[in-house]
Structure 1
Amino acid sequence: MKKFFVALLSLGVVAGAYSITFGVPAEVAQLWGGTPETADAAPPRRPGGGPRGQGRSTTVVLAPLEERSYTLVLRTVGSAVSLRRSTVVTTEAGEVVETALQANKRVEKGAVLLRLDDRTERLELEIAEANRDQVQDTVTRYKGLRQNGNAVVTDVALSEAEVALRLAKANVGLAEVALENRSLVAPISGRLGLSDVHAGDQLSSGDTIVTIDDTTMLLATFEVPERSIGLLAEGKPVLVTTPTYTGRVFQGRVTAFDSRLDSVTRSATVEAGIDNAEGLLLSGMTFAIRMTEETVPLPVVPATAITWDRTGAGIWVAEEGRTTRLPATIRYRDGDQVWIETEASLGTQVVVEGASKLREGAQVTTADLSRGPGA
């Protein structure tokens, strides 16, 4: 009997809770003599204050869609050599009798750097000049006799003398060249490198004497990966830095680049000229190289505005208090900013905070960010 009363009491509690939540059914109200609910009666309300069955709005932060250019930056490392450089080698063998090979000394084109023993060549030049003078006298005497009507000198004899004179002059020229070759001169203007050649050394033909670098303009060589090939163009500015001069940026321009990519590194070799009129940079230095380029303006949103689903990336836009998700293609990222391609027009209100809570067609309200936490 006790169990029966407990069950009856439980049934009464359940019935009361149902009546409070969903109302009393019309049939039961008629049996009790009450008035049933009509269509005009106000529907029951949810604890949140809205009518039962109607979704609550989501609070989000909106911002108009804007567009900005993105700065593409390529950072790479390269090394530089002098744009004009030369290695001086001997063309003759012999003993060094005089040198002017002071390291880092600036020399002008044509300056004498080294002299070899040239006593033999001077004697050969003297012999050639004497022979030329002798033949010249013979030609002059023959011509004088012919002018005076002397028939002893025939045309053949005069012609042979003139040919001999031409040969004698050519021998003088050869002797002069041989004598000049005993002196090595600077082929270009620039600064001398270190040399271990000294007076008294015996040199052979083809020995390296010294290097000369014209460092007023350096040629930097570096690699550009395949993804950045679009940055390459002759004359494009290049920014160069080196740990030797911290905080100093040197200017340069692309002068040439390879017509094909390396099959292993998938990069192209690029050359850039660097102005070094001050002479601060040296040939062989390693440089950090930077190239930049501004893209066309693209829509940009905070990273928090990007959401993902099985179709890919997208953004939520709000219109008349309801949201719609539009696909977006991410082009670039920089910190918390994302440059995208989307069909949304500029000025469209984009959900930049709270996007992860939204569903298609959801009702939203805008958060008042100007109010403090205690407002």
Structure 2
Amino acid sequence: MKRFIIVLLSLAVLTGAYAIAFGVPVQVAQLWGGAPAEETAAAPRGGPDGGPGGVRGQARSTTVVLAPLEEHAYTLVLRTVGSAVSLRRSEVVATEAGEVVETALQANKAVEKGNVLLRLDDRTERLTLEIAEANRDQAQATVTRYQGLHQNGSAVVTDVALSEAEVALRLAVANVGLAEVVLDNRTIVAPISGRLGLSNVHVGDQLSGGDAIVTIDDTSTLLATFEVPERSIGLLTEGKPVLVTTPTYTGRVFEGKVTAFDSRLDSVTRSATVEAEIDNAEGLLLSGMTFAIRMTEETAPLPVVPATAITWDRSGAGIWIVEEGRTSRAPVTIRYRDGDQVWIETEAQVGAQIVTEGAAKLRDGAQVTTADASRGPGA
């Protein structure tokens, strides 16, 4: 008997819970002497307030959160790492062999183009120049004498003799020029303006032709080289601004611009090599530094929705639009994501009311109420 009473009580609890959740079936309501079938079918779902507990089989509204569809631009950001060298740089090498007799190779010293960096022993070259100048002077004297005699009508100097003397003078002048060039090559000067690097050349060293002497870097502008992946190739245009940071100067951002990029992708890395000039007028950055490089670009305004507004079915992604309390589904194409925000392409009009919460429970044509409305006045 006790077990039978427990079973009855359980059935009563289940029946009550069913009636509260889904309403009382029409047939049962008629048996209990309720309203006629016609009135029951016309009664609003869930009773006067539209809430649960109405008659089974009638449509019920779903509580959702709505928001207008808005448009915003999306900021594309490319972050990569690159290294930089001086835009103008030179490695000074010895063009002649000889002993170093004078140097001005102080590391990090600023030099101007044409400043003397190093001198080689030039005693032999100076003597060679003196010999060439003496021969030139002698040839010049001969030509002058022959020209004077020829103008006075002397038969001693023929036209041929005068011509030969003039040719000898030209050769002597050329030999002087060659001797001057050789002498000048014994003095090494700065080919560009910039700052000197470290050098191992000292007075008394013996240099051979082609030996490295020192490097010069004009760091007023640096040339950064970095890789851009295939998916971000659309960001590349000449003159595109780039932002550069380095751990050496935390919080400091240096500006530059793209000057060139490769015409093809690397077959292994699927990326393109890019060069950008970085303004370094203050001289804070050094050639060879590694940089964190950032490029940004804003897209045209696109519809943006919370991630909770996106639902999926066999046709793909979509959002729910509410018009006059009824829902309809609009397909979307997802373009970008940033946190809980999603930028999409859709035919839905900007300003349309979309479901941002509760979208997973909806069907086409479903009746909905907003969360605020469901609380009622004074809630």
| Common fold: TM-score over 0.5 | yes
- Counterpart in the other structure of 2:80: 76
Give the SS at the match of 1:218. Answer: strand
- Counterpart in the other structure of 2:296: 292
Q: Which of 121, 135, 141 does residue 137 from structure 1 map onto?
A: 141
Q: Which of 124, 131, 150 does residue 127 from structure 1 map onto?
A: 131
Matched, 1:92 2:117: no
- Change in Cα spacing, 1:198 to 1:41, as seen in structure 2 (3 Å) is closer
- Name which of structure 1's ranges 250-259 and 325-334 shifts more when overlaid on structure 2: 325-334
- Change in Cα spacing, 1:61 to 1:158, as seen in structure 2 (3 Å) is same
Question: C-alpha displacement at 1:149, in angstroms?
Answer: 2.0
- Counterpart in the other structure of 1:21: 28
Question: What is the Cα-based RMSD across aligned positions, in Å?
Answer: 2.6
- Counterpart in the other structure of 2:361: 357
For 1:42 and 1:337, locate their aligned partners in 2 and report how far apart those are by CA, in whole Å: 46
For 2:358 and 2:147, locate their aligned partners in 1 and report how far apart those are by CA, in whole Å: 113
- Change in Cα spacing, 1:351 to 1:250, as seen in structure 2 (3 Å) is same
Equivalent positions of 1:216-227 (< 5 A) are: 216-227=220-231
- Change in Cα spacing, 1:371 to 1:103, as seen in structure 2 (3 Å) is farther
For 1:19 and 1:344, locate their aligned partners in 2 and report how far apart those are by CA, in whole Å: 41
User: Counterpart amino acid of 1:289?
Assistant: I
Q: Which of 210, 218, 224 does residue 214 from structure 1 map onto?
A: 218
Matched, 1:187 2:194: no
- Change in Cα spacing, 1:300 to 1:19, as seen in structure 2 (3 Å) is closer
Deviations 1:298-338 (A, max 9, x none): 11001110111222111111111011111111000111110
For 1:343 and 1:201, locate their aligned partners in 2 and report how far apart those are by CA, in whole Å: 79
Q: Identical aligned pairs, as a percentage? A: 81
Tell me if structure 1 keeps the 8 A contact 2:63–2:374. no
Give the SS at the match of 2:237. Answer: coil
- Counterpart in the other structure of 1:276: 280
For 1:186 and 1:110, locate their aligned partners in 2 and report how far apart those are by CA, in whole Å: 5
- Counterpart in the other structure of 1:202: 206
- Counterpart in the other structure of 1:31: none
Question: C-alpha displacement at 1:190, in angstroms?
Answer: 0.3
Equivalent positions of 1:1-375 (< 5 A) are: 21-24=28-31, 40-43=38-41, 48-368=52-372, 375=379
User: Counterpart amino acid of 1:245?
Assistant: Y
Q: Paired residues, what number?
A: 353
Question: C-alpha displacement at 1:46, in angstroms?
Answer: 5.5
- Counterpart in the other structure of 1:3: none
Unmatched 5+ stretches in structure 1: 1-12, 26-34
- Change in Cα spacing, 1:370 to 1:258, as seen in structure 2 (3 Å) is farther
Give the SS at the match of 1:23. Answer: helix
Give the SS at the match of 2:372. Answer: coil
User: Counterpart amino acid of 2:369?
Assistant: T
- Counterpart in the other structure of 1:5: none
Give the SS at the match of 1:368. Answer: helix
Deviations 1:173-203 (A, max 9, x none): 0000000011111100000000000000011
- Change in Cα spacing, 1:371 to 1:143, as seen in structure 2 (3 Å) is farther
For 2:239 and 2:216, locate their aligned partners in 1 and report how far apart those are by CA, in whole Å: 27
Tell me if structure 1 keeps the 8 A contact 2:198–2:214. yes
Q: TM-score by structure 2 length?
A: 0.88
- Name which of structure 1's ranges 190-199 and 302-311 shifts more when overlaid on structure 2: 302-311
* Greater Cα radius of gyration, structure 1 or 2: 1
For 1:69 and 1:272, locate their aligned partners in 2 and report how far apart those are by CA, in whole Å: 26
Question: C-alpha displacement at 1:129, in angstroms?
Answer: 0.2
Deviations 1:223-279 (A, max 9, x none): 000000000000010000000000000010000000000000000000000000000
- Change in Cα spacing, 1:54 to 1:92, as seen in structure 2 (3 Å) is same
- Change in Cα spacing, 1:38 to 1:214, as seen in structure 2 (3 Å) is closer
Give the SS at the match of 1:361. Answer: coil
Q: TM-score by structure 1 length?
A: 0.89
